[in-house]
Amino acid sequence: METNSTADNTVVEKSIDSETACDEEQYLQLIANILRTGTRENTRNGDTLSLFGASMRFSLLREGQAIIPLMTTKRLAWKTCLKELLWFVRGETDNKLLQQQNVHIWNANGSREFLDSRGLYQNRENDLGPVYGHQWRHFNAPYENCDVDYSSASDKGVDQLQRIIEILTHDDEQVKKQNMRRLVMSAWNPCQLDQMALPPCHILVQFHVTDDKYLSCALYQRSGDVGLGVPFNIASYAFLTHLIAHHCGLVAKEFVHFIGDAHIYVEHCDALQEQMKRMPYQSPSIHISNKYDNINDYQFTDFQITDYQHHDTIKMEMKA
Per-residue pLDDT tens for 52-75? 999 999 999 999 999 999 999 999
Interatomic CA distance for residues 115 and 209, integer angstroms: 40
Supply the pLDDT for residue 176. 66
Tell me the pLDDT tens digit for each residue of 74-120: 999 999 999 999 999 999 999 999 999 999 999 999 999 999 999 99
Catalytic residue positions, numbered: 201
Among residues 140, 252, 244, the alpha carbon closest in space to that of 183 is found at 244
When pLDDT is averaged across residues 128-152 and rounded to a whole number, the result is 96
The domains of the chain, with CATH numbers, are 2-306 (3.30.572.10)
4's CB contacts (< 8 A; 6+ apart) are: 11, 12, 13, 14, 32, 33, 35, 36
Supply the pLDDT for residue 217. 98
- Say if residue 14's pLDDT is above 80: no
**pTM (2 decimals)?**
0.92
When pLDDT is averaged across residues 191-214 and rounded to a whole number, the result is 96
Supply the pLDDT for residue 318. 83
When pLDDT is averaged across residues 28-40 and rounded to a whole number, the result is 97
Tell me the pLDDT tens digit for each residue of 190-201: 999 999 999 999
Supply the pLDDT for residue 1. 35
Residue 134, Cβ neighbours under 10 Å: how many? 27
Among residues 126, 258, 146, 137, the alpha carbon closest in space to that of 203 is found at 258
Q: How confident is the model at residue 18 (pLDDT cuts 50, 70, 90)?
A: very low
Q: From the CA atom positions of the chain, what is the Rg in Å?
A: 20
Interatomic CA distance for residues 262 and 55, integer angstroms: 10
Termini Cα distance of the chain = 36
Tell me the pLDDT tens digit for each residue of 260-307: 999 999 999 999 999 999 999 999 999 999 999 999 999 999 999 999
Supply the pLDDT for residue 241. 98
Among residues 54, 66, 69, the alpha carbon closest in space to that of 22 is found at 69
